[in-house]
Amino acid sequence: MAKGKQATTKKFTFGTCGFQRTSPPLEALSPGTRVLNVLLSFEDALKLNVAIDECVRQLNAYNRSTTAGKRAALNLTVYLDKERITINEGKL
């Protein structure tokens, strides 16, 4: 590493990916909808896999015998209007 440079850490997201469609379609969703299937292309599934893996590796670095370590969590956010999925670190 160059002098004066520091290793960068993730500040917000571990990755994002798109999804192609949902079942039932977004237009058909209602408060009574109990299940939403999200269909991803192979390429987007690979992006999602890498993002989840990277976040889980970060969570694994925490000391789980502490309260903060036990509260660490993975947050998967689905933006239905943008057809995007993001992976972030969260707290329980």
Asked whether residue 1 is assigned to any structural domain, the reply reads no
* Domain with 48 in it: 38-92
pLDDT at 12 (0 to 100): 80
Asked whether residue 9 is assigned to any structural domain, the reply reads no
Domain count, the chain: 1
Asked whether residue 70 is assigned to any structural domain, the reply reads yes
Of 53 and 11, more confident: 53
Asked whether residue 50 is assigned to any structural domain, the reply reads yes
What does the angle CA 53 – CA 18 – CA 90 come to, to the nearest 5 degrees? 45
pLDDT at 3 (0 to 100): 55
C-beta separation of 38 from 85 below 8 A: yes
Q: Per-residue confidence at 31, pLDDT binned at 50, 70, 90?
A: very high
Per residue in 69-91, pLDDT (tens digit) is 999 999 999 999 999 999 999 99
pTM of the entire predicted model: 0.80
Asked whether residue 90 is assigned to any structural domain, the reply reads yes
